[in-house]
């Protein structure tokens, strides 16, 4: 019977600081070792603020006749035990009595088994005196490090408040607290380990219990370690997957070498952490945009991307593109293969001298670049009369000059505008006197290439001054400056612009511009020339609004925010660049088509906004990764309000992920022409 009015929980060892495992308490100190003995009446407690029965730990006999409670005591070291003192309640009127007998087993060492011979002790039960008392159990000087004592019920309840041991090797009583916890390795420490068993259990199981505990703890530790390892592996896998998936968003830490533009432009790009870039401030551009380490090898990426996998040998376009054979292939086919990755081949950039791109063409060997190679006429420089500076680049300047006697010098059929008796004005690009020999070479190459170009929508080289320094190239002068400036200073034509004399352009003007640019690019593509920096800033307008594609590199200063600067030298127009140009350094006619799409977008926004103006340069590069992945997360430029839907569809095709899906310049020209005025 349970004492009336008191829940059984009150008799639990609630101060026990070990673990509760199933029906057992393991590895702690408890009420039985706190040095406080209980009152005779367990309903009364000497401790204020605690519940009645606090002093005692009690067990109910679930098995009348043969029930017992078993406890195991583990000590800090081996001892010779003389006796055990158990302070027990004896309120027989409430069904509580001291134990009727106790059987103690001994274990000399933790790893040893229990000794076969126990100490048994029978108590004299007392039905007259309900006082709590110490019951002393003689332990016969048995040597042990651990004891297991089974206390047999004498009544319905057994309630102990303290258990103390006396050993012969100490002067005073050896209390339970100095006990061990490290059961599995036998290490001693100063903590107690007790087992309170309220259930009877088969004796075979009891024998095995001690060994099992060590095994159990060992297993638990192993399982925990395994779980930690598994969790670590899962987290690691997730991290690696994320890194691979987001690789283009992150700048690879490896050092990579990229040869930019020409064989002499080998730049080691290291990738330190990149600080956020303030708007309009050149970033420390020490990076290359690669998808993952394997993409640092362009050949590996070509294998991965089917549309890039054609090789020059297999495409039938021929490997020697220094003299492109346009009869053998379509522009796209040829450029996929015939104009290889710039890291693999020497592609001459015509931008070298003044800092911008002109046409990327196959390298001409430096030996072949002598002044004798230049077929364009040498003009006497004293006849170039300086008027004003038009622009400036890293390696030179562009001047507006009056060219005395140029029409006569060039002869009939020269591409010069009507003079109406006025002096002939020309643009003179001049190499800085202190330019490096590389810059000089590039300048000469640029002249050689430009001298071969002859199209109404490509800026015309008229003559040169190369027999003495500074080297100069003379081109036609475009009175209306560049298209970006021109459009940004205009509004779309309306009654309002007419009424207020606001400079304006019509939609048909815009379409006409688009047609002209596509025509110029069609011409370049037909020669297998890759521009690499098509944008409104590189399109010039003459008096009659004829557009000529140019790139004197002066725009690099004027439009520096359009370029992403690689520390020291290269600058990249990333907002106009196709994903494969940014990620792989692959410039082709198809990447020119991409830039043409952005140029169209500029035209129809009247150059009032920069492409992806809401994105930082870093975000533009991240977006490039999305274009590559093509999972619908890429951000496209949105349709300009002025732009007819069919035209926007054309732009979108220019930004196709696969280069074979992009239109050709011929196709673009044919699509645009019908919409423009003659």
Angle at 348 between CA 347 and CA 354, to 5 degrees: 145
Q: How far is the CB of 490 from ligand ADE (least distance, A)?
A: 18
Applying CB under 6 A, which part among 40-48, 80-88, 546-554, 634-642 lies near ligand ADE?
A: 546-554
156, 288, 554, 643: residue in contact with ligand ADE (rule CB under 6 A): 554
DSSP 48-94: TTS-TTTT-EEEE-SSTTT-EEEEEEEEEEEEEEEEEEEEE---GGG
Q: How far is the CB of 260 from ligand ADE (least distance, A)?
A: 23
Applying CB under 6 A, which part among 52-60, 361-369, 475-483, 597-605 lies near ligand ADE?
A: 475-483
Which parts of 480-499 interact with ligand ADE (CB under 6 A)? 481
Q: Are 246 and 549 in contact (CB under 8 A)?
A: no
Measured from the CB atom, the residue of 346 and 476 that comes closer to ligand ADE is 476
- Distance (Å, rounded) from C-alpha 180 to C-alpha 642? 85
Q: How far is the CB of 396 from ligand ADE (least distance, A)?
A: 11
Q: Are 551 and 539 in contact (CB under 8 A)?
A: no
Applying CB under 6 A, which part among 62-70, 194-202, 473-481, 623-631 lies near ligand ADE?
A: 473-481
- Distance (Å, rounded) from C-alpha 158 to C-alpha 280? 85
| Marked catalytic residue, from 533, 551, 562, 592 | 533
Residue 535 interacting with ligand ADE (CB under 6 A): no
What are the distances in angstroms from CA 205 to CA 167, 288, 348, 372?
Answer: 29, 69, 87, 105
Q: How far is the CB of 400 from ligand ADE (least distance, A)?
A: 7
Measured from the CB atom, the residue of 162 and 482 that comes closer to ligand ADE is 482
Measured from the CB atom, the residue of 562 and 580 that comes closer to ligand ADE is 562
Measured from the CB atom, the residue of 97 and 399 that comes closer to ligand ADE is 399
3 state SS for 461-496: EEEEECCCCCCEEEEECCCCCEHHHHHHCCEECCHH
Applying CB under 6 A, which part among 14-22, 143-151, 450-458, 476-484 lies near ligand ADE?
A: 476-484
Q: What track of x and - describes contact with ligand ADE for positions 85 through 104 (by CB under 6 A)?
A: --------------------
Measured from the CB atom, the residue of 79 and 399 that comes closer to ligand ADE is 399
Measured from the CB atom, the residue of 16 and 552 that comes closer to ligand ADE is 552
Q: What separation, in Å, do the N-terminal and C-terminal C-alpha atoms of the chain show?
A: 112
Half-sphere exposure of 411 (CA within 13 A, CB side): 1
Residue 540 interacting with ligand ADE (CB under 6 A): yes
State the DSSP H helix or E strand holding residue 398, giving kind and residue range, or none if neither: strand 396-403
- Distance (Å, rounded) from C-alpha 509 to C-alpha 397? 31
**Nearest to 256, CA basis, from 611, 583, 657:** 583
Q: What track of x and - describes contact with ligand ADE for positions 219 through 258 (by CB under 6 A)?
A: ----------------------------------------
Which parts of 20-79 interact with ligand ADE (CB under 6 A)? none
For 338, which DSSP code?
A: T
Residue 417 interacting with ligand ADE (CB under 6 A): no
Q: How far is the CB of 252 from ligand ADE (least distance, A)?
A: 37
Residue 156 interacting with ligand ADE (CB under 6 A): no
Q: How far is the CB of 355 from ligand ADE (least distance, A)?
A: 13
Q: Which residues pair with 492 in a beta bridge?
A: 505
Neighbours of 35 (CB within 10 A): 9
Measured from the CB atom, the residue of 417 and 481 that comes closer to ligand ADE is 481
Q: How far is the CB of 272 from ligand ADE (least distance, A)?
A: 36
186: left (phi over 0), alpha (psi -120 to 50) or beta: left
- Distance (Å, rounded) from C-alpha 51 to C-alpha 49? 7
Measured from the CB atom, the residue of 335 and 477 that comes closer to ligand ADE is 477
Applying CB under 6 A, which part among 51-59, 208-216, 472-480, 647-655 lies near ligand ADE?
A: 472-480
DSSP 590-625: HHHHHHHHHHHHHHHTTT-S-TTTTS-HHHHHHHHH
Residue 475 interacting with ligand ADE (CB under 6 A): yes
- Distance (Å, rounded) from C-alpha 57 to C-alpha 160? 5
Measured from the CB atom, the residue of 198 and 394 that comes closer to ligand ADE is 394
Going by C-beta distance under 8 Å and a sequence separation of 6 or more, which residues neighbour residue 440? 353, 431, 471
Residue 154 interacting with ligand ADE (CB under 6 A): no
Q: How far is the CB of 401 from ligand ADE (least distance, A)?
A: 11
Q: How far is the CB of 427 from ligand ADE (least distance, A)?
A: 3
- Distance (Å, rounded) from C-alpha 449 to C-alpha 348? 10
Q: How far is the CB of 425 from ligand ADE (least distance, A)?
A: 9
Residue 549 interacting with ligand ADE (CB under 6 A): no
Measured from the CB atom, the residue of 483 and 554 that comes closer to ligand ADE is 554
Residue 478 interacting with ligand ADE (CB under 6 A): yes
- Distance (Å, rounded) from C-alpha 650 to C-alpha 665? 11
- Distance (Å, rounded) from C-alpha 135 to C-alpha 163? 9
Q: How far is the CB of 676 from ligand ADE (least distance, A)?
A: 23
30, 352, 355, 391: residue in contact with ligand ADE (rule CB under 6 A): 391
Residue 552 interacting with ligand ADE (CB under 6 A): yes
Residue 450 interacting with ligand ADE (CB under 6 A): no
149, 179, 317, 427: residue in contact with ligand ADE (rule CB under 6 A): 427
* Binding residues for ligand ADE, total number by CB under 6 A: 13
What are the distances in angstroms from CA 455 to CA 99, 134, 173, 375, 526?
Answer: 115, 117, 112, 17, 11
Residue 390 interacting with ligand ADE (CB under 6 A): yes
Q: How far is the CB of 595 from ligand ADE (least distance, A)?
A: 19
Residue 595 interacting with ligand ADE (CB under 6 A): no
- Distance (Å, rounded) from C-alpha 664 to C-alpha 332? 7
User: Three-state SS for 448?
Assistant: helix
Look up 533 and say whether it is catalytic.
Answer: yes
Measured from the CB atom, the residue of 252 and 478 that comes closer to ligand ADE is 478
What are the distances in angstroms from CA 93 to CA 57, 101, 129, 589?
Answer: 18, 20, 10, 105
Measured from the CB atom, the residue of 391 and 663 that comes closer to ligand ADE is 391
For 262, which DSSP code?
A: S
What are the distances in angstroms from CA 615 to CA 181, 561, 599, 636?
Answer: 62, 13, 18, 11
What are the distances in angstroms from CA 367 to CA 78, 344, 462, 503?
Answer: 95, 20, 24, 51
- Residues forming the active site: 533
Binding site for ligand ADE (CB under 6 A): 390-391, 398, 427, 459, 475, 477-478, 481, 540, 550, 552, 554
């Amino acid at each position: 019977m349970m004492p009336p009015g008191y829940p059984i929980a009150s008799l639990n060892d609630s101060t026990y600081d070990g673990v509760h495992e199933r029906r057992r308490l393991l590895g702690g100190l408890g009420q039985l070792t706190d040095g406080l003995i209980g009152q005779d009446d367990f309903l009364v407690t000497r401790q204020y603020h605690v519940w009645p029965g606090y002093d005692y730990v009690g067990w109910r006999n679930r098995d009348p006749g043969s029930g017992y409670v078993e406890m195991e005591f583990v000590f800090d070291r081996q001892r010779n035990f003389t006796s055990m003192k158990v302070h027990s309640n004896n309120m027989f009127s409430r069904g509580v009595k001291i134990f009727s007998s106790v059987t103690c087993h001994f274990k000399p060492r933790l790893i040893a088994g229990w000794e076969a011979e126990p100490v048994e002790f029978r108590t004299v039960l007392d039905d007259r005196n309900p006082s709590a008392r110490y019951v002393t159990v003689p332990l016969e000087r048995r040597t042990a490090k651990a004891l297991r004592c089974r206390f047999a019920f004498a009544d319905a309840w057994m309630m102990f408040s303290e258990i103390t041991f006396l050993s012969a090797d100490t002067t005073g009583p050896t209390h339970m607290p100095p006990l061990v916890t490290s059961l599995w390795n036998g290490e001693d420490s100063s903590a107690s380990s007790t087992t309170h068993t309220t259930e009877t259990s088969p004796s075979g199981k009891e024998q095995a219990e001690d060994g099992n505990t060590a095994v159990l703890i060992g297993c638990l530790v192993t399982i925990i370690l395994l779980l930690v390892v598994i969790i670590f592996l899962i987290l690691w896998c997730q991290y690696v997957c994320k890194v691979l998936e987001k690789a283009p968003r992150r700048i690879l830490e490896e050092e990579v070498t990229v040869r930019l533009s020409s064989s002499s432009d080998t730049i080691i790009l290291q990738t330190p952490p990149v600080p956020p870039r303030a708007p309009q401030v050149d970033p420390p551009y020490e990076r290359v945009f690669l998808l993952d380490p394997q993409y640092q090898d362009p050949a590996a990426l070509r294998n991965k991307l089917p549309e890039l996998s054609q090789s020059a040998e297999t495409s039938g376009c021929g490997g020697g593109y220094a003299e492109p054979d346009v009869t053998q292939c379509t522009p796209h086919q040829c450029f996929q293969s015939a104009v290889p990755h710039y890291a693999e081949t020497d592609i001459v950039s015509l931008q070298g001298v003044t800092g911008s791109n002109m046409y990327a063409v196959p390298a001409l060997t430096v030996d072949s670049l002598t002044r004798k190679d230049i077929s364009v006429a040498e003009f006497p420089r004293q006849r170039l009369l300086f008027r004003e500076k038009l622009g400036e680049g890293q390696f030179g300047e562009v001047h507006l000059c009056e060219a005395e006697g140029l029409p006569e010098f060039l002869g009939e059929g020269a591409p010069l505008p009507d003079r109406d008796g006025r002096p002939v004005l020309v643009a003179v690009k001049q190499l800085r006197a202190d330019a490096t020999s590389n810059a000089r070479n590039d300048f000469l190459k640029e002249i050689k290439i430009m001298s071969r170009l002859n199209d109404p929508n490509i800026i015309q080289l008229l003559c040169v001054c190369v027999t003495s320094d500074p080297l100069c190239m003379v081109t036609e002068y475009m009175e209306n400056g560049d298209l970006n400036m021109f459009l940004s200073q205009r509004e779309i034509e309306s009654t309002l612009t007419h009424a207020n004399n606001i400079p304006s352009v019509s939609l048909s003007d815009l379409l006409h511009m688009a047609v002209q640019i596509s025509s110029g690019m069609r011409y370049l593509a037909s020669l297998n020339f890759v521009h690499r920096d098509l944008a409104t800033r590189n399109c010039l307008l003459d008096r009659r609004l004829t557009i000529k594609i140019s790139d004197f590199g002066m725009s690099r200063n004027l439009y520096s925010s359009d370029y992403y600067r690689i520390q020291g030298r290269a600058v990249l127009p990333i907002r106009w660049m196709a994903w494969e140009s940014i990620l792989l350094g692959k410039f082709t006619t198809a990447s020119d088509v991409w830039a043409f799409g952005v140029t169209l977008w500029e035209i129809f926004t009247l150059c009032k906004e920069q492409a992806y103006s809401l994105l930082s340069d870093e975000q533009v590069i991240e977006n490039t990764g999305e274009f590559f992945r093509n999972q619908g997360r890429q951000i496209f430029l949105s349709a300009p309000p002025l732009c007819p839907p069919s035209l926007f569809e054309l732009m979108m095709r220019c930004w196709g992920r696969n280069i074979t899906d992009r239109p050709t310049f011929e196709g673009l020209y044919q699509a645009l022409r019908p919409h423009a005025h003659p």
